[in-house]
Structures are given as structure tokens and as C-alpha cells.
Structure 1
Amino acid sequence: MSPSWSRTDGLAVGIVALAALAGVALWPQLPAEVAIHFSASGTPDNHVPKAVGVVLLPGLMLGLLVLVQAGLAADPPSHPQTGPVVVLSTTAFLGVIHVLVIAWNAGYPVPLDGLLVGTLVFAALLVGYSVWREGTSLG
């Protein structure tokens, strides 16, 4: 049975589209080379051409969406809300990261120093939710 299009898929693709549109909207303000990775101190340590920086994360978001949906189809979670929550929260999280990084490159004052902590908290909450929802023990 082939996977069917769901509301979750539509929302996730909409989030990807919004993230991509942010890059397009800020295109004129972006430098020729944009930072896409930052050290723990918030210093940029990897740059790519502007076009790559605008499409890279939205493209990865689409690829991840396909991969996660394939995984969920191959091994469905026991609770019907686990998959949609994982898909939408992960897509939204990556979209926020993309918008923050693009905004920083466009010259907006984005505080990147809390991004690492926020990422770790997000990951812990998502794993905790999934373990709780699926009733799986870690031991």
C-alpha cells in the first residue's frame, strides 16, 4: 500500500514553503556568501554561496520529510498522534532555524547564543514525548 497525502504532509510542506519564502524575501539583503554554521560561541565557521544558503535547509527539510514518512510507513507508531507530532515539530524547528540564520545573514539582530541550548531542549522534549506516547522504556 502506498502512503497517502495527509493533512500533516500538507502542513509540513507549507512550513517548508514558508521557510523557503523567507530566504526569497530577504534575498536582496543577503551577502554573496552566507553563513550556514556557527561555533558554540556564535561565530560563523562555514559559508556557502547565497543561492545555496537559501535553498539548502528547505531542501533538506523536504528530504527529511520523505525519509521520516517512509520510516513511519515501514514501522508505524502504536499511537496515531506520534508520527504527526514528530513530523510537524521537526519540520517547524528546522524552519525556525532556517529563518533565524537567513535573518542573521540579512543583518537582523538575531541572538544565536541560545540556539544550541534551544536545540538540545527541543531534542530532549521530542524524544521524551515520543517515549511517553509510545510507552517505551529506555531500560
Structure 2
Amino acid sequence: MALRRNQADIASGVLIGLTALAGVAVWSQLPAEVAIHFSASGTPDNYVSKPVGVVLLPALMLGTLLILKGAFRYDPPETPQVAAAITVATMAFMGAIHGLVLAWNLGYPVPFDLVLGGSLVWAVFIVVYARQAA
């Protein structure tokens, strides 16, 4: 079933909201300094305060959504479902990354080789989907 643009907007909004709620839900369990960036080996190399760590990615998701909406309005794809699918897939990807960052900061083991592999699979999927739908 192909998503329409308004359904994609709703789905994207829900994903942003759930991502924000995830950070709020685990607020009391997070450390004062939250790791937000990791080397390829999984070693944290950038920390921010807990409030920034909880709000940063949902805010980036909202900004990314607005940029995507503007870009697709300026240069729409031939098939409107492509814009909807790319938008929702991007919001889901960013939400998943936020979930993994929260999990790591809560002490759960995060297999970074799988994260990198999953990121590559996501990118290939988006490119293949967009090219086939065009």
C-alpha cells in the first residue's frame, strides 16, 4: 500500500513524537552527560548534556522533515509515493538511531557493526525504491 503525502506527514509526526517521548520516558535513568556520537568501533567521541541529548534528534527530525517537504515541493518526484516513502523512511531511520543512542546511554550493548550495516541497507533500500518507482 502506497502512502499519500498527508498520510506520510501524519506518520512522520507520530514518529517524531514517539522519538521525543522515548527520551522523556527514560530521562531519570540517563546520565548527566549523554554520548551522542560514536566511532565506527562503538567508542563514544562526543557528549552533550542530558537535555540536549534528549531533544537534539527529535529537533533534527523536525528540521529534516521540513527540509524534505520543501525539497519535494520545489522538485517533486514523478511518483508522489516516492516522496512519502522517503520521508517516512528517513524519520523512522532517525528515530531508530535515537533509540540506539538512548539504549547505549542506559547501559545496553549496541552492536555497532550491525548499526553500520543496517544504515547501509537502509540507504540502498531508499535508492532502489526511488529508482524503481520513478
Task: Indicate the TM-score class for this superposition, using the shorter chain for normalisation.
Answer: over 0.9
CA contact (8 A) 1:16 1:58 kept: yes
CA contact (8 A) 2:65 2:87 kept: yes
CA contact (8 A) 2:40 2:112 kept: no
Query: Is there any run of 5+ residues in structure 1 with no aligned partner, and where?
Result: 135-139
2: CA distance, partners of 1:27 / 1:113:
27
SS at match of 1:107: coil
2:97 equivalent in structure 1: 97
Report the CA distance between 1:125 and its aligned residue.
1.2
Alignment of 1:121-132 (within 5 A): 121-132=121-132
Report the CA distance between 1:29 and its aligned residue.
0.7
Query: Is there any run of 5+ residues in structure 2 with no aligned partner, and where?
Result: none
TM-score, normalising length from structure 1? 0.89
- Residue type of the alignment partner of 1:10: I
* More helix, by proportion: 2
1:16 equivalent in structure 2: 16
2:72 equivalent in structure 1: 72
CA contact (8 A) 1:26 1:103 kept: no
Deviations 1:17-54 (A, max 9, x none): 10111100011110000110110101111111111010
2: CA distance, partners of 1:110 / 1:103:
7
Runs of at least 4 residues of structure 1 off by over 4 A?
none
1:38 aligns with 2:38: yes
1:115 aligns with 2:109: no
Deviations 1:98-127 (A, max 9, x none): 011112101223323311111111111101
Across the aligned residues of Structure 1 and Structure 2, the Cα RMSD in angstroms comes to: 1.2
Q: Highest Rg: 1 or 2? A: 1
CA contact (8 A) 1:57 1:94 kept: yes
TM-score, normalising length from structure 2? 0.92
2: CA distance, partners of 1:69 / 1:80:
12
